[in-house]
Each structure stands twice: as structure tokens, then as C-alpha cells.
């Protein structure tokens, strides 16, 4: 197992590190060269290093950015530091950008601040780092529906993803508890659907509510800004409009879209809402308009249309003859709508079991343990592994009673580090369909960016290493985290969970949780996935 000299403690761990002797010291006269194709990466580097170091990196010798598509894998890079020069070669602009994240981490942690403090010597240790990612899809799903996350916090989150060489931001934009994307043809989605009168406090089993209105939404321009900001950091934003269930906020805004009446935008968590779409021409027209707007804003190849946890009982109550078929029918219709825009469907693993004509180029999000990932890969679909027992960062990260709003089974830093996107049960051919992994940040119990910081970090650092570097030694990772990486998070102002548990102000004695045993959740997942497991 590689051990890193303290000054080469990079997260996620690079594939190969060959340390040398001495350092290249960045000064106000250090220059930067790059081909025209890397102008954006050069601009990013100047913006990232300038404020903290005072080194403006004017054009000239010093750091050289080089494109080398023939010599390196597309997202790979080679960073060579000598006492007199720095050369960063990338297989593509994305590879160069990944290498820039490593270069930045080689500097003292104060480089992550937004202005100059102290008297750091901006030394890059001499050595060679060669690196490439284990997986192409290194995603994070951010639920901005349960709690709205202001735009500037989303942009900050994008920056934190970039630091960890994560490259897909899946934005869960709509759910029962809120609709967060402006759709000009359907204005009540945001005037009515983007806010609720109160929220549950703590786990739903306690049935306690606050009476504090909550809401917010993104305009088209906000979302275009997020998309472009992410693209500048080689991060693709994949939008999700959760259909045809998880739509209570939309039905509250336009009651005629619903299968059955609902009582406003949902204020409670969990359970399954009755607020599903009716199988009508009007509802299909609504979906068509919304997806057209989504495709106009988000250039991503994939658009997620959800398909998860859709109850059939409301359709039964409508008197529909075959309510069990309607979820699949909806998904088939949504796939056709997306294809008309040249986009591919991303659906949660329930879409495999609904009898839907899921197009062969669809991407499946396998979330119900490993079962969804296994079923999707065996059925010949590309799949992103997001097993709840490994990467659901709303789940509690410690056993202690002080853990804030502890829900779900225990999911520690070590568990996140042990995540393997490709289930061991898959053959090599099936496993090749697993594009990567995606951490999931469901925000029922995270009402602010401070709560997200606490739940996401440092587990997201461990996850990033699992999808970029592949299997490693947890003790070595934990040492690197403690000796080097937490100082970077501190400089960035990330309020991560301390390894010994929450600071007093991070506890939530006012909001009780509902912890579960892992074995109980696993048994439940076996039951929930019976139909998709029976098909393979």
C-alpha cells in the first residue's frame, strides 16, 4: 500500500506518486503557459490560486498546461514538479482540470482561503503524479426539493465537488414537498408549489411539525448559471423531475393534474404521497412542457424522470382498470418525450419492474441496495450505483445519541470508503455497464448548507476516493484525511462532522430521529425488490 509523504497527501488518492527532493516555489513572478484550448482551465487556476497566494500567473514560464490526448487517458493527467518548472499534461481539458485539483492540494492548506493570511511559502513538492479515474460517473445527488438550497450554496457545493474530482451533479428539483424550477407556461408550479406552510421536525414517526413556512425556487437564469458554472469545472448537471409520483407539490399547484385531491404542498416526510399524476392527456401535456423547459436549460445527455416509489392506489381509487400498468406506461411516454429532444432517460431502479418499455439507451440509478444495480446491469442497461446502504448520506454516521436527527442504518466514514460501485455478483461483462457511483444527499433533515456540510463531509471525501481511486486502505485514508485534508476543508469553511462526533451546536436535541438496524433495512430491500430480482 502506498504511503504518501505528508506534503503529497492528496484526496482522492492518485494512482501513482513518485516523490522527489526539493520544491518548486510559486512566487509573484511565476508564469503560466497553455494552448488556446486550455484557456478556461488557465483562467480557473488563476482564480483559484491568485486571491490566497497573490501569485497572478501572468503569461510566461513556470507552470505549463499541456494537452496530450495521444499519450494519456481522457480524464487522466501527469503532473511533474521539478525545482525549476511544473508541467501538467492531461488527456483532455477534463484531465488537465483534474490535475489542477491535485496541484492545488500540493500547496499549503491556506491556498483554499479567499484572501491572503499568514506567511506561507507556496512550495510544490518535487515529484511525479500520474493519475486517472476508476469510474467515469462520479456523482452526487443533491435534493433541493425537500429543503431549498440557495443558488450561491449550490455554486459553493459545485466548487467542493471539483476539489474532490467529482463530475456529475444530479439536481433533484421536484418532490412532494416543493417544486424548485420555474416553468413559465405553468406559473403556479412556483407561486404555489415552491413553498409549504411548515415542515416536520425530526423523523416522521414522531408526527411533530413546525409552523415555519419554507420555500424557494430557481429561475431559468439561475439554473443556466449553475449549469455553466459547473461546466467550467467539468461537472455535468443532470436535472431530475420526479414523475409520475412524488408530485404532490405540482398537484397542489394544478389540482386537475392529480389522480386524487391533495392537501396542499406536503409538509410531512417519507411515506408515499397520494399526489401522483392522473393518466390523462392534460398530465402528459404538462410533462411535455416541463421536459421541454428542462431540456432548454440543461444540455446533459441524461434527464432523470424519477419513476421511484409510485403508489398505484390513487389510480385504483380513480377506477382505472389496470392501475399496476400505469407507472410503466408513464415512463414509456416520458422516454418518448425525451427522445424527441435527443435526450436519454435516467430512471430509478423501479422503472425496471413497472412493465415499462424502457429504451435500451436508458440509464438506471440502482438505489435499493445492490439489487437495482445488479438487475439493471443484467438486463443490459447502463447503471449508476447509488445503494442506499452505502451512499445515502442522510443516514446517521454514528451510534451516539448526540448524532443529529439519526435516521436509517448506520453509515460511517469507513462504510462510505468501502463503497464499491460494481457489485461482486456481476460478471466482468455485466460490471462494465456500471458507469460509476453516486452519493445521495436527501435533505429532509438538512434545512441549511451547514447541515449539508455536516452530513456530507467528510463522507463525500471517502466516496470520492472510492469512485476516483478504487479500493484502498481505510486507515491510510483516515490518516491522510486527518493530517492534511481536514485542514483544506477548514480553510474552505466546510463544517464537516468531527471524527469524535458533533460539536454541541451541531446536535439537534429538539428533533428526534428514528435509527434503524442495517439487517432490518436489508431485509426490507429484499422484499421491495422482489419483482426486479425475479426478472433476472
Smallest distance, ligand ACM to C-beta of residue 368, A: 8
Of 308 and 333, nearer to ligand ACM (C-beta) is 308
Q: For residue 451, what is the enclosing H or E element?
A: helix 449-456
Dist. CA 26–CA 65, nearest whole Å: 15
Nearer to ligand ACM, 41 or 350 (CB): 350
Cβ-based nearer residue to ligand ACM, 308 or 447: 308
Using rule CB under 6 A, residue 302 touches ligand ACM = no
Q: Are 474 and 412 in contact (CB under 8 A)?
A: no
Q: Take residue 381 and report the three cell numbers written for it.
A: 442497461
Alpha helices in 304-412 (DSSP H): 313-317, 326-340, 371-378, 388-391
Residues between 91 and 150 that touch ligand ACM (CB under 6 A): none
Q: Which of 135, 157, 218, 348 binds ligand ACM (CB under 6 A)?
A: 348
d(CA 308, CA 346): 11
**Does the protein bind ligand ACM through residue 24 (CB under 6 A)?**
no
For cell 394544478, what's the residue? 254
Q: Which of 470, 434, 385 is nearest to 131 (CA)?
A: 470
Tell me how many residues contact ligand ACM (CB under 6 A).
4
Find the farthest-apart pair of alpha carbons in the chain and give their distance in angstroms, rounded: 77
Tell which residue, 371, 181, 350, 385, has the closest CA to residue 276.
350
Quick one: how far is CA 504 from the chain centroid?
28
Active site annotation includes 175 = yes
Assess 308 for contact with ligand ACM (CB under 6 A). yes
Q: Report the distance separating Cα 372 and Cα 387, nearest Å.
A: 8
Per-residue binder mask for ligand ACM (CB under 6 A), 228-247, x = binder:
--------------------
DSSP H/E element including 24: strand 16-25
Buried b (16+ CB within 10 A) or exposed e, 478-491: bebbeebbbbbbeb
Phi, then psi, of 388 in degrees rounded to 5: -60, -30
Site string for ligand ACM, 395-434 (x = CB under 6 A): ----------------------------------------
Strands (E), 282-325: 302-306
Nearer Cβ to ligand ACM (151/368) = 368
CB-nearest residue to ligand ACM: 308
In order, the DSSP letters of 88-133 are: EEESSHHHHHHHHHHHHHHS-GGGGSSS--TT---EEEEEEEEE--
CB of 270 to ligand ACM, least distance (A): 10
Using the rule CB under 6 A, is 367 a contact of ligand ACM? Answer: yes
> At its nearest, how many Å lie between ligand ACM and the CB of residue 172?
9
34 is known as an active-site residue: no
Q: How far is the CB of 308 from ligand ACM (least distance, A)?
A: 4
Contact letters for ligand ACM, residues 260-299 (x by CB under 6 A): ----------------------------------------
Binding track over 142-171 against ligand ACM, x by CB under 6 A: ------------------------------
The verdict on whether 445 is a catalytic residue reads no
Peptide bond between residue 58 and the one before it cis (omega within 30 degrees of 0) = no
The residue annotated as part of the active site, out of 246, 371, 445, 485, is 246
- Residues near 36 by beta carbon (within 8 Å), at least 6 away in sequence: none
- What are 331's three cell numbers? 415512463
Nearest to ligand ACM of 52, 249 (CB atom): 249
Q: Which of 41, 131, 175, 370 is catalytic?
A: 175
Cβ 281 vs Cβ 294: under 8 Å: no
Between residues 90 and 245, which has the closer beta carbon with respect to ligand ACM? 245
Distance CA 180, CA 149 (A): 10
Residue 462 φ/ψ region, left for φ over 0, alpha for ψ in the -120 to 50 degree band, beta for the rest: alpha
Residue closer to ligand ACM, measured from CB, 293 or 308: 308
**Cα–Cα separations (whole angstroms), residue 215 to 118, 154, 394:** 41, 15, 20
Q: Which of 417, 395, 443 is nearest to 154 (CA)?
A: 443
Binding mask 309-338 for ligand ACM (x = CB under 6 A): x-----------------------------
57, 50 contact by CB (below 8 A): yes
| CB 349, min distance to ligand ACM, A | 8
Asked if 501 contacts 403 with a C-beta cutoff of 8 angstroms, the reply is: yes
* Catalytic, out of 80, 309, 402, 476: 309
Of 14 and 369, nearer to ligand ACM (C-beta) is: 369
Q: Is 382 an interacting residue with respect to ligand ACM (CB under 6 A)?
A: no
**For ligand ACM, the closer CB: 246 or 480:** 246
Site string for ligand ACM, 454-493 (x = CB under 6 A): ----------------------------------------
If the CB atoms of residues 179 and 392 are measured against ligand ACM, the closer one turns out to be 392
Least distance between ligand ACM and beta carbon 248 (Å): 14
What are the catalytic residues? Answer: 175, 246, 309
Contact footprint for ligand ACM (CB under 6 A): 308-309, 348, 367
Amino acid at each position: 500500500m502506498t504511503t504518501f509523504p505528508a506534503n503529497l497527501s492528496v484526496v482522492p488518492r492518485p494512482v501513482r506518486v513518485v516523490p522527489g527532493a526539493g520544491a518548486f516555489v510559486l512566487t509573484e513572478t511565476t508564469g503560466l503557459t497553455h494552448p488556446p484550448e486550455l484557456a478556461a482551465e488557465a483562467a480557473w487556476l488563476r482564480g483559484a490560486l491568485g486571491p490566497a497566494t497573490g501569485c497572478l500567473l501572468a503569461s510566461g514560464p513556470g507552470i505549463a498546461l499541456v494537452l496530450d490526448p495521444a499519450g494519456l487517458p481522457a480524464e487522466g493527467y501527469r503532473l511533474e514538479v521539478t525545482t525549476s518548472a511544473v508541467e501538467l499534461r492531461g488527456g483532455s481539458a477534463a484531465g488537465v482540470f483534474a490535475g489542477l485539483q491535485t496541484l492545488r492540494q500540493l500547496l499549503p492548506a491556506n491556498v483554499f482561503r479567499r484572501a491572503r493570511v499568514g506567511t506561507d511559502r507556496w512550495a510544490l513538492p518535487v515529484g511525479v503524479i500520474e493519475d486517472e479515474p476508476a469510474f467515469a460517473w462520479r456523482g452526487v445527488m443533491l435534493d433541493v426539493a425537500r429543503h431549498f438550497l440557495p443558488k450561491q450554496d449550490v455554486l459553493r457545493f459545485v466548487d467542493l465537488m471539483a476539489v474532490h474530482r467529482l463530475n456529475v451533479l444530479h439536481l433533484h428539483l421536484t418532490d412532494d414537498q416543493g417544486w424548485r424550477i420555474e416553468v413559465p407556461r405553468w406559473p403556479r408550479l412556483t407561486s404555489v408549489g415552491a413553498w409549504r406552510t411548515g415542515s416536520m421536525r425530526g423523523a416522521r414517526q414522531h408526527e411533530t411539525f413546525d409552523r415555519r413556512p419554507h420555500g424557494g425556487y430557481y429561475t431559468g437564469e439561475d439554473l443556466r448559471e449553475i449549469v455553466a458554472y459547473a461546466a467550467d469545472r467539468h461537472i455535468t448537471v443532470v436535472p431530475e423531475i420526479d414523475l409520475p409520483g412524488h408530485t404532490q407539490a405540482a398537484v397542489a399547484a394544478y389540482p386537475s393534474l392529480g389522480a386524487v385531491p391533495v392537501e396542499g404542498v406536503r409538509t410531512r416526510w417519507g411515506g408515499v404521497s397520494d399526489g401522483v399524476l392522473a393518466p390523462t392527456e392534460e398530465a402528459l401535456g404538462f410533462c411535455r412542457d416541463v421536459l421541454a423547459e428542462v431540456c432548454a436549460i440543461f444540455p446533459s445527455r441524461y434527464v432523470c424522470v424519477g419513476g421511484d416509489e409510485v403508489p398505484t392506489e390513487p389510480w385504483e381509487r380513480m377506477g382505472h382498470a389496470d392501475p399496476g400498468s400505469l407507472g410503466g406506461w408513464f415512463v414509456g411516454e416520458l422516454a418518448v418525450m425525451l427522445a424527441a429532444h435527443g435526450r436519454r432517460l435516467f430512471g430509478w431502479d423501479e422503472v425496471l419492474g413497472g412493465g415499462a418499455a424502457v429504451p435500451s439507451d436508458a440509464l438506471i440509478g440502482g438505489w435499493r441496495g445492490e439489487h437495482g444495480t445488479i438487475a439493471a446491469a443484467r438486463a443490459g442497461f447502463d447503471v449508476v450505483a447509488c445503494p442506499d446502504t452505502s451512499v445515502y448520506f442522510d443516514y446517521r454516521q454514528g451510534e451516539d445519541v448526540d448524532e443529529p436527527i439519526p435516521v436509517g442504518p448506520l453509515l460511517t466514514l469507513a462504510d462510505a470508503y468501502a463503497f464499491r460501485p460494481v457489485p461482486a455478483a456481476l460478471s466482468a461483462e455485466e460490471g462494465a455497464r456500471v458507469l460509476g457511483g453516486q452519493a445521495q444527499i436527501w435533505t429532509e433533515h438538512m434545512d441549511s448548507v451547514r447541515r449539508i456540510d455536516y452530513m456530507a463531509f467528510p463522507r463525500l471525501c471517502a466516496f470520492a476516493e472510492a469512485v476516483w481511486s478504487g479500493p484502498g486502505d481505510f486507515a491510510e485514508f483516515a490518516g491522510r484525511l486527518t493530517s492534511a485534508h481536514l485542514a483544506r476543508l477548514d480553510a474552505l469553511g466546510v463544517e464537516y462532522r468531527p471524527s469524535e462526533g458533533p460539536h454541541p451546536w451541531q446536535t439537534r436535541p429538539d428533533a428526534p430521529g428514528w435509527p434503524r438496524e442495517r439487517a432490518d433495512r436489508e431485509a426490507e430491500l429484499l422484499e421491495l425488490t422482489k419483482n426486479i430480482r425475479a426478472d433476472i
